[in-house]
Amino acid sequence: AQKVTQAQTEISVVEKEDVTLDCVYETRDTTYYLFWYKQPPSGELVFLIRRNSFDEQNEISGRYSWNFQKSTSSFNFTITASQVVDSAVYFCALSDRNSGNTPLVFGKGTRLSVIA
Amino acid sequence: EAGVTQSPTHLIKTRGQQATLRCSPISGHTSVYWYQQALGLGLQFLLWYDEGEERNRGNFPPRFSGRQFPNYSSELNVNALELEDSALYLCASSLAVDRILPTFGSGTRLTVV
């Protein structure tokens, strides 16, 4: 069965600090996709990144970076030099192609507060 | 291009009543998904519709139901509302062939009093 665990419920950092959000997943399949979404106070889920299980290269996009490690089933997200606008709830999600008609499975989210 | 639109934005109902939530997908998207985001529970998958048919449903009682119309818009109905149904209900849509990258709407916040 698919499962996504975000152990950090809430994180609070001071502006300009770096912060890493953890994500650990479980799946029996060899083909799967991992995602990160940002949910600002407006409620909409904003897509940040999708990685497939065959691509373990780390990715950097501006202040955001992602570390995908199949050996530890983790897909961690780091924000460098955090800003107040980064304050939001961040969700990690998993989609398992071989599990039939199952859409995205989400973790419970991590609420990030960046304090000025 | 318009995104996924949901209506109403907010909805207040009394316990025992019925609620109807609506979702319009992105033009060209044929799959619509519904998720419930209750406080402290993350996003729970509710329903998935594609080409007018229900493809899968999550672990919710039958009083949660819905449908997809020929124009691919969708309705979520919640009957016999209970206080714990209070949540943000998010709709997402995707191309059928790329159901692994849904785009989400801003949600309907349902409050049951």
With beta carbons under 8 A apart, name residues in chain B contacting A43. 88, 90, 106-107, 109
What pLDDT does residue B99 have?
67
Question: Pairing relation of β-strands B87-94 and B103-104?
Answer: antiparallel
Cis peptide before A103 (omega within 30 of 0): no
* Lowest mean pLDDT, pick from A19-23, A61-65, B36-40, B44-48: B36-40
Name which residue leads in pLDDT, A24 or B50. Answer: A24
B40, B43, B48: residue with CB nearest A101: B48
What pLDDT does residue A95 have?
87
- Mutating which of A5, A8, A35, A44 best tests the B interface, going by the most B Cβ atoms within 10 A? A44
What pLDDT does residue B40 have?
74
What pLDDT does residue A96 have?
78
The shortest C-alpha distance from A36 to chain B (Å) reads 11
Is the Cβ pair A44, B41 closer than 8 Å? no
Alpha-carbon dihedral of residues A35, A3, A90, B108, nearest 10 degrees?
A: 100
What pLDDT does residue B102 have?
86
pLDDT along chain B (113 residues), means of 10: 90 98 95 91 90 91 97 97 96 80 91 97
CB B31 within 8 A of CB B50: yes
Hey, is B80 helix, strand or coil? coil
The shortest C-alpha distance from B10 to chain A (Å) reads 12
B53 Cβ under 8 Å from any chain A Cβ: no
